[in-house]
Every structure is written in C-alpha cells, then in structure tokens.
C-alpha cells in the first residue's frame, strides 16, 4: 500500500458520522454496490446533512472499487 493509499483510507468521507474512506472501501469489497448498501453497512449518509456531502463521494468509491 502506498503512502497515498494509507492517507486515503483515513480520510473522512462522511464527515457527519466520521466514517473513513477505508471503511467504505471495505464495505464495497464485502459486497456493497449502492449508497443504500453502504448506509446499511456503515451508517454513512445518516448524519446531519443527510448525505448531501458524502453521497457523491460514496458513488465514486463504489465505481472505483466494485470491479
């Protein structure tokens, strides 16, 4: 794993619920294929902004890591 990848893993994607990119990537690797799946597995999108900030980023992560 490169330094860049390590930093990425700790970066908060869902700021409201304090959920890192690494947690999202693991969810995708464990079968999550939609924002709804990610919500169920991690609790992301359920914070104060109701997913306004994190949903677009989650979609990108799903696209990037689901193949």
> Which residues of this chain interact with ligand FES, rule CB under 6 A?
14-17, 44-45, 47-49, 51, 53-54
Q: In what helix (H) or strand (E) does residue 10 lie, and over which residues does it extend?
A: helix 3-10
Smallest separation, CB 57 to ligand FES (Å) = 9
Cα distances (Å, whole numbers) of residue 50 to 9, 14, 18, 47, 54 = 22, 10, 13, 5, 9
Smallest separation, CB 50 to ligand FES (Å) = 6
d(CA 43, CA 64): 20
Choice between 43 and 65, CB closer to ligand FES: 43
Choice between 18 and 67, CB closer to ligand FES: 18
């Amino acid at each position: 794993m490169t330094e860049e990848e390590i930093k990425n893993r700790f970066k908060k994607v869902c700021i409201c619920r304090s959920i890192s990119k690494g947690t999202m990537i693991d969810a995708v690797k464990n079968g999550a294929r939609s924002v709804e799946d990610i919500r169920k597995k991690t609790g992301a999108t359920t914070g104060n902004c109701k997913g306004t900030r994190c949903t677009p980023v989650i979609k990108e992560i799903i696209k990037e890591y689901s193949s």
